[in-house]
Amino acid sequence: MQTELIHKYSNGLTFQSTWTWAKNLTDVESWPRSSFSGEITGDKMDLYHMHADYGNTGGTRKHRWITTVVDELPIGKGRRFLGNANGVLNGIVGGWQLSTILLVQSGPYDTPFIDFDSSGNAALGGFNRPDLAGNPNDFHHTRTQFWNPNVFACPGFPAGTGLSDNTLNCSSLPNGGVVGRFGNAAVGSLVGPGTFNLSLGLAKSFQLTERVKLKVESSFTNLPNHINLDDPRNNLTECSGDSPCLGTFGRVEQARTGDAGGNRVGQFALRVEF
């Protein structure tokens, strides 16, 4: 569903604001094993129960609000400010154009998993998902703990069972943690950090001759240099360090980069047009 507000060019202003609500469900996006960025291989947790992998698609954002504005600044001859300017002064302060893009969106979907197959032998290369007994997203999000680990458990056990130092140790449970079934935590049941990104551009053309003009441009992405957190770790059996081995589930290890909401980048340009 999409709602859009548009103000077409008037008095030097063009404005467009769009809010999108999206829902995208599939049963072919389980734990990705591919080493290529953005590629989803769709490995199945249980080939005899395809619907167990039904859930939210990772790349979809539930809420996305994007606003673009292009405005000729009201400065210079005939405008609100310095309207009587002429000659050199108007050539310097008049005719500047400001453009902005504001992006605010909710986080991507992610899936909790454990390196422990239904036979209890992680060495076989199988994977499993834990049992889920609550909402892991209803939590005070921090960079060190973005999701609540206490609502998870090894399959067949109460929430929090086998959890120590933020790590699920299923093999330490009775019968080696083997209960003969997979976990019930759904694909896409985790929601990652959202994104806030404000980009700005400023440009002006200087008429040098009848056919030649000089265009001055500057642009900045993520102008406030706001830190957008990358996806947290989602493996409940992964840990770091030797003694003690601390779980990494829910830990954000870096900020987003590039077009995904990375750090501020600015550029300046001079262009001759003829």
pLDDT, tens digit, for every residue of 1-58? 999 999 887 777 899 999 999 999 988 776 555 555 555 555 677 778 888 889 998 8
Q: Contact 193/139 with Cβ under 8 angstroms? A: no
Using left for φ > 0, alpha for ψ between -120 and 50, and beta otherwise, residue 87 falls in left
What are the backbone angles phi and psi of residue 248, rounded to the nearest 5°? Answer: -105, 0
The least confident of 90-94, 102-106, 205-209, 236-240 is 90-94
pLDDT, tens digit, for every residue of 70-83? 988 877 766 776 76
pLDDT at 123: 43
DSSP letters, 3-71, are EEEEEEEETTEEEEEEEEE---EESS--S----STT------S-TT-GGGG-EE-TT--SEEEEEEEEE
Q: Is the whole-model pTM more than 0.85? A: no
Q: % helix / strand / coil in the chain, to the nearest 5?
A: 10, 35, 55
Q: Considering the chain, what is the average pLDDT of its residues?
A: 84
